[in-house]
Chain A
Amino acid sequence: MTPAAVAEAAEAGADAGDVAVANYREALRMALREELTRDERVFVMGEEVGVFDGAYKVTAGLLDEFGADRIRDTPISEEGFVGAGVGAAMLGERPVVEVMTLNFLIVAMDQVVNHAAKIGAMFGGEVRCPLVIRTPNGAGNQLTAQHSQSMDGWFAGTPGLKVVAPANPADAKGLLKAAIRDDDPVLVIENLRAYTLKGEVPTDPEHVVEIGRAAIPRSGSDLTIVSHGYATTRALAVADRLAESHEVEIEVVDLRSLRPLDVETVAASVVRTHRVLCVEEGWPSYGVTAELAARIQRACFDDLDAPVERVGMAEVPLPYAKNLETAALPNEDRVAAAALATLGLGPAA
């Protein structure tokens, strides 16, 4: 570890052993620092990643460590610099492009969907695009309609892309590292509220989480909740709450990867529990949970004791007023109510 990394690990409460307690943004920074150190081809670019220390402080301190060529500030120019990442990647560089939020990535949609995603197949495998785009989705801070979206399904539904969405600090580190080492374009969807989540993070620079593998952070036999990103935090809280209040054991499947989607782990869980609730931060119509529902009914038709249930953000452009925002989010009360309905313990959702 570099001296700064040691200091940071100490500040984050590192054990002498191989696990540090760190928050999600520190875990991402750890991954960036390790990969920047490991591979000269890796560089970071985006708005305010350098001098400003990162809009959400993920890249804080990296400019001093690695210099302005490798921690490259960009103008406010998403289509330009995401596309520059595509071009640099085609030449064998390993750009990690930070986009301030997923809402702004939509400005660069042409480069992501029409370009990056197409390169491998459209050019017959003659050239690759090992590009990483990192960006947070999410709502809950009264950021209102234009800054609170989670269009995860748009990207996950695009062949040629890989999409991961870590829910906790260890996976934030491991999946970002996997994305950087991958030879294809990978979108890493982070989450604004997740940045402060704390957890144990392996300090091993080879801690890489395989893309395409879901995790089961909580086992249970009565109901499966399938989620990703910040929705997993909600799911785990609801599982605790209902274990207490209703003595039900909920299994939580954290997808971690949206494309490839680990249908196998989801279905194996549903086969055990016979009931499933899918939760996402974004709008459910045509969303990740829609995809999950389609696949689950196909894979588990004979095993289901209840219809596949879904909870997501209310289908409105998110309002500003705190009470309205709260009502619109897939908050714990809504998830809990849907879980109980799916269990036959509450009114239908």
Chain B
Amino acid sequence: MQVLQEERAAVGIDLYRQMVLIREFETEAESQYKAAHIGGYCHLSSGQEATNVGTVHALEADDLLVTGYRCHGFALARGVPARAAMAELFGREGGCANGRGGSMHLLDVERGFYGGWGIVAGQLPIATGLALGLVRQDRPQAVLCELGEGAVNMGAWHESLNLAAVWRLPVVFLVVNNGYGMGTAVDRASAEPDVFRRAESYRMPGERVDGDDLDAVIEASERLLSAARQDRQPAVLEAVTYRFRGHSVADAGLAYRTREEIAEREARDPISRVREQLIAAGASEEELDAVVAEVEAEVADAVAYAEADAEPPVAELAAGMHAAGSDAQFERMRPGSPFGERELIFDAGLGR
């Protein structure tokens, strides 16, 4: 493993730790979902960890990250504490979106993570705008915008790539191609199933990488992000991977693919692959087992934290909706004004 061979053993172990954390977190999330402690949709990243960790590893501290709704893995890789992520899934106040976003809408602005977004391809124009903001602010950083391969048939994909190219914006569109948009296989949905080739239409680089090969993911991500930072060169990076679980926890994932196919992919688990590489590079089984044990404890702690954390108070139903100072604007629409209608507009939380 190149990362390790270059005297970066500690980095390699940390990347392994992140991958295991994502897997353990997702496995636990599925259990908690089935125990009805987590609601809504819950899209798991299991199987895609090398793409999660490798691409985010290539980000600098001040780079920005935007994702679709399968965002747990990216959030954890970016450093969102497992506690804050799990509490968000539980709908608790200590969640990274204060319990208002849930599974699809994790974020951490301080870490440059501008959100998991729930409408397919809706995050692409926003990522383009973040990149425009970077340019306007003269910041030599880049945006990594994740999307699933199912998003590339939306108009927002075309509009965003076109704008990024016309305006020469520092954004890398990361297409996580896990083979299926919900249950629809790529070649049933895309007239050009080689997604990376679509970049040619916008005269920008497009590359395909084995998304389960951590080194390859890091190498391609670093190169494209670096070009984005230095030359404002937008690009498409297609990472081919596989999700072990269904589209969401509610999907068994068997209507559109065979058990054999899943088993075959699970046998090529990217986490096992990295572990083998680490061992080959000199890491010990004990050392790596200790990492796993540490991560298991971290996830157990996250669950305990989420369980104990307070629910957001109903009195703050509207918290965050509007900026500070909006109270006065709404006071003639709100209860407390002589003609307000209590049931239409909640008075709590506006302007906080």
Contacts and interface: CB of A to CB of B under 8 A. Distances in A.
A43 B25 CA distance: 42
B85 interface: no
Contact of A121 (B109, B118, B320, B333): B320
Interface stretch (B94-102, B278-286, B301-309): B94-102
A83 B339 contact: no
B341 A295 contact: yes
B159 A80 contact: yes
B105 A184 contact: no
B339 A123 contact: no
B119 A115 contact: yes
Contacts of B126: 83-84, 86-87, 90, 111, 115
Given A124-B100, A125-B98, A263-B332, A80 B339 contact: no
A260 to B, nearest CB: 4
A77 B159 contact: yes
Contacts of B320: 120-121, 123-126
Interface stretch (B41-49, B133-141, B193-201): B133-141
A267 B341 CA distance: 12
Given A93-B133, A264-B339, A299-B339, A87 B128 contact: yes
Contacts, number: 198
Given A84-B125, A126-B107, A79 B156 contact: yes
A264 B334 CA distance: 9
Interface stretch (B50-58, B178-186, B217-225, B322-330): B322-330
A79 B159 contact: yes
| Range of interface residues on B (Cβ < 8 Å) | 35 or more
Interface in B333-352: 333, 337-341, 352
B124 interface: yes
Interface string B129-163: 11111101100000000000000000110011011
Most buried by B among A125, A257, A263: A125
A127 interface: yes
Nearest to B139: A91
B166 interface: yes
Contacts of A264: 332, 337-340
Interface stretch (A52-60, A147-155, A205-213, A337-345): A205-213
Q: Is the interface of A mostly helix, strand, loop or mixed?
A: mixed
A121 B318 contact: yes
B325 A183 contact: yes
A130 B156 CA distance: 22
A121 B156 CA distance: 23
A237 to B, nearest CB: 27
B323 A87 contact: no
B83 to A, nearest CB: 15
Interface string B97-121: 1111100010101000011011100
B323 to A, nearest CB: 3
B77 interface: no
Given A79-B159, A81-B163, A298-B341, A212 B328 contact: yes
A347 interface: no
Contact of A83 (B118, B160, B166, B319): B160
Contacts of A80: 125, 128, 156, 159-160, 162-163
A126 B96 CA distance: 9
B332 to A, nearest CB: 4
29 contacts: A69-B136, A79-B155, A80-B160, A81-B125, A81-B159, A83-B126, A84-B125, A86-B126, A87-B114, A87-B131, A88-B132, A91-B64, A91-B137, A93-B136, A93-B137, A111-B125, A120-B320, A120-B321, A121-B321, A123-B100, A124-B96, A124-B100, A124-B319, A125-B320, A126-B109, A212-B332, A259-B333, A262-B332, A264-B332
A-B CB proximity, top 6 nearest? A83-B125, A87-B129, A125-B320, A124-B98, A80-B159, A183-B323
